[in-house]
Amino acid sequence: MAPRTLRTIAKALLAPALALGVTAGLATAPAQAAVWNTCDQWGNTNLGGYTLYNNIWGSGAGAQCVWANSGTNWGVWANHPNTGGIKSYPNSKKVVNRSISSLRTLTSSYSVSVPSAGAYNTSYDIWDTDHDYEIMLWVNQYGPVGPLGSFQGTVTLGGHTWNVHKGDNGSNQVFSFLRTSRSTSGTVDMLPILRWIKDTKRWMGDETIGDVQFGYEITSSSGGLDFRTDNLTVTAG
């Protein structure tokens, strides 16, 4: 399968924890069984209305490769050192470009296979078009990871119960919703969450939602770990 092949390529070409800039050298790795794969730091492609990103952005990152059979069936092999700080957010993105008030539905279903090691979260990252607001929905987490900002309470919205945190990273407001129990599959109705932020809490106005990303925010995956998105759908209307 593609994840094993990419792991072999990456191990052959990289030591476990090379500097972030060197990772881009893996862009020359040959294509394998998947429709698309890359080990390039910023590698990306469009497949069936979704955009795939390798997206290795944190300092001290190691090797990482992403493969895809489609925009909704893809995976990552990552070997990031056991140190603090987010190293990457490989993800699949669906463009929405609709205001909250004009949306009648914004839902997503997911099914993933994730490791019982390392430190990471499986999350949606929802952005407005101006990138003033970031809404993160953590459906799964493992290891010593935590959200930005302060705890705001617990709410049940969109079919799940969440612990809510609110913070500021210096560039934008961040609203983090952490599912109170781990999940590897399910459906999230995101529109009630956006309306709760807008109408109930008044933390933002009638923003235009630019895109919905889904992926893995990886802090550490020492030795090489596999993250697989078996199925993903994002529906806006």
pLDDT in tens, 53-91: 999 999 999 999 999 999 999 999 999 999 999 999 999
Q: What size, in residues, is the chain?
A: 237
Q: How far apart are CA 117 and CA 121, in angstroms?
A: 11
Class of domain 2-236: mainly beta
- Distance, in Å, from the CA atom of 144 to the CA atom of 141, rounded to the nearest integer, reads 9
Give the pLDDT confidence score for residue 11 in this predicted structure.
Answer: 47
Strands 173-179 and 133-142, how do they pair?
Answer: parallel
Residue partners of 15: CB distance under 8 A and separation at least 6: none
Tokens 């049940």 belong to residue: 156
Identify the pLDDT of residue 13: 38
Options 78, 194, 217, 218, the catalytic residue = 217
CB of 13 closer than 8 Å to CB of 23: no
Average pLDDT of every residue of the chain: 90
Distance CA 156, CA 126 (A): 18
Cβ–Cβ under 8 Å, residues 178 and 147: yes
pLDDT of residue 6: 52
- What is the reported pLDDT for 93? 98
Task: State the catalytic residue, choosing from 125, 128, 134, 207.
Answer: 134
The closest alpha carbon to 156, from 207, 192, 110, 186, belongs to 192
The burial of 237, by beta-carbon neighbours within 10 Å (0-12 exposed, 13-18 middle, 19 or more buried), is given as exposed
Name, in order, each residue with C-beta under 8 angstroms of 89's C-beta and a sequence gap of 6 or more: 53, 55, 57, 125, 213, 215, 216, 217, 218
Confidence of residue 12 (pLDDT cuts 50, 70, 90): very low
Average pLDDT over residues 153-172: 97
Band the pLDDT of 29: cuts 50, 70, 90.
very low
Q: State the pLDDT at residue 117.
A: 97
Domain ranges of the chain: 2-236
Is pLDDT of 206 > 90? yes
- Compute the distance between CA of residue 169 and CA of residue 155 in angstroms, rounded to an integer: 23
pLDDT at 3: 47
Q: What is the pLDDT of residue 10?
A: 52
What mean pLDDT do residues 116-125 have? 98
Question: What's the CA gap between 208 and 91, in Å, rounded?
Answer: 21
Distance, in Å, from the CA atom of 100 to the CA atom of 126, rounded to the nearest integer, reads 12
Average pLDDT score over residue span 153-159: 97
What is the predicted pLDDT for the residue at 7? 53
Look up 217 and say whether it is catalytic.
yes
- pLDDT reported for residue 14: 45
* pLDDT value for 22: 38
123: left (phi over 0), alpha (psi -120 to 50) or beta: beta
Q: Edge-to-edge strand order for the sheet containing 106-113?
A: 36-38, 63-70, 73-79, 225-236, 106-113, 185-189
